[in-house]
Structure 1
Amino acid sequence: MQTFIFGLTLGLSIGPIAILILNQSINCGFKNGALCGLGAATADLTYAIITFTFGSVLISLLNNHMDIIPVVSALILIIFGLWMIYTTFRKKEHKKAGKYSLTCKFPLITTYGLTIANPLTIIVFSGFAGILTAQENSNVFIHALVIFLASLSVQMLIALAGSKLSGFFSKPITLLYFNVVSALGIIVIGVSQLF
């Protein structure tokens, strides 16, 4: 039960990945939003398997590099946010609602990479790994699967909410503002990690 609640809270945290999933559902439809959600949940599964299997080793490794991980992750978020702004204004595509984002082309892969690079994910999993690795007789793969399913269910709800909100964002100028605000939100999260 503790693992399922951890997976739910992991998925519910409103950060750059949730903003990305919502944005892609609005811009590209539920399918792309769902693929973004699957990418995020798969990254959570990857971290779960790694941290639960090699928890104590990973924690000591992360502690040795905690100064560089947030910087690199923050730079990735900032670059991605800038890329979102660039693609929003590229070729005056903001005059029509449509599929123009990087994640519309590669939703699963892009979101997986961004989730893997998210410093919050790294820190949260290293903390939870310490709790789980302290428990004896715990099945790593069952815990990882529970986290994946909990995270995926939340990501799908976010994608569904975005696809239902797409009617609200049917005006191109509204979509333009939402895309820019979403991108700026991701950039702000990245910048805040630097400081």
Structure 2
Amino acid sequence: MGDKMMEVMKAVLFGLILSLTVGPIAILVLGNGIHHGYVTAMRSAIGAALADYCYALISFITGTLLISQLDAYHYQIILLSSWVLIFMGFYMMYSALKNTRLLANVHHPGKKLGFRSTFFLTLANPVALIALSAFIGHSIDQLNLLFAMQLAGAVFVGSLIIQCILAISGAVSRSTLMDDDEVITFPFYLQVLGGLIICLFGVSNFVDLAG
């Protein structure tokens, strides 16, 4: 029971980290808060988190079914998932640098997009699917379909927390005239930290294998 609870907490953390990617969706949620207010921003935040949940559900259930048929390749699956997580971590840190231009334009008024639009736009990004598939490879020892669905719910919780923080930050910026640099820099540093933690997820797999 303790091991399963630890995996659930890791899934919540992974959902938090996955949502730190400062790409178009994060900018959309943040921009909605700045230009269209709290309600619109929260709707888009829920849409983004729900899309992450759908990807997690697909990745975890499919991964569970496949892994259960490939028990002889236990070591190779964990090894592959470790390398993918490390790659995704570096990708997030690289994207943080690349997407600072997107953040610099966040104060330019954008189109009002709510729950449905954000949901489908988030689904259009396959990066989350790759990262989540690697994560379920890491959780190989605990897998069954019910637990896979629980982990997907944990990812949703983590994603929703970050999306709501972005939405609230935008709305607060709008009402208090928060300095532009504050709005721009905090998501950047969060993403760099998130990328580093995902790398550590991958490294921890190697440590487990070595043990």
Give me the TM-score of the superposition, normalised by structure 2.
0.60
CA distance in 2, matches of 1:6, 1:47: 19
Structure 2 counterparts to residues 7-18 of structure 1, below 5 A: 9=9, 11-13=11-13, 15-18=16-19
Amino acid of the structure 1 residue aligned with 2:128 = L
Aligned partner of 1:43 in structure 2 is: 55
Cα root mean square deviation, aligned: 4.0
Q: CA deviation at 1:45?
A: 0.9
Q: CA deviation at 1:181?
A: 0.4
Give me the TM-score of the superposition, normalised by structure 1.
0.63
C-alpha contact 1:85 1:183 (8 A) present in aligned 2? no
C-alpha contact 2:63 2:136 (8 A) present in aligned 1? no
C-alpha contact 1:35 1:108 (8 A) present in aligned 2? no
Structure 2 counterparts to residues 23-172 of structure 1, below 5 A: 23=26, 25-28=29-32, 29-89=41-101, 92-93=104-105, 96=107, 106-110=121-125, 113-118=127-132, 119-124=134-139, 126-129=140-143, 132=144, 140=145, 148-149=152-153, 151-152=155-156, 155-170=159-174, 171=178, 172=180
Listed as ranges, the gaps of 5+ residues in structure 2 are 33-40, 111-117, 204-211
Question: Residues 146, 65 of structure 1: CA spacing in aligned structure 2 closer, same or farther, 3 A cutoff?
Answer: closer
Amino acid of the structure 2 residue aligned with 1:77 = G
Listed as ranges, the gaps of 5+ residues in structure 1 are 133-139
CA distance in 2, matches of 1:184, 1:146: 28
Instruction: Give the length in aligned residue pairs.
Output: 177
Q: CA deviation at 1:174?
A: 0.7
> Percent identity at matched positions?
9
CA distance in 1, matches of 2:103, 2:169: 25
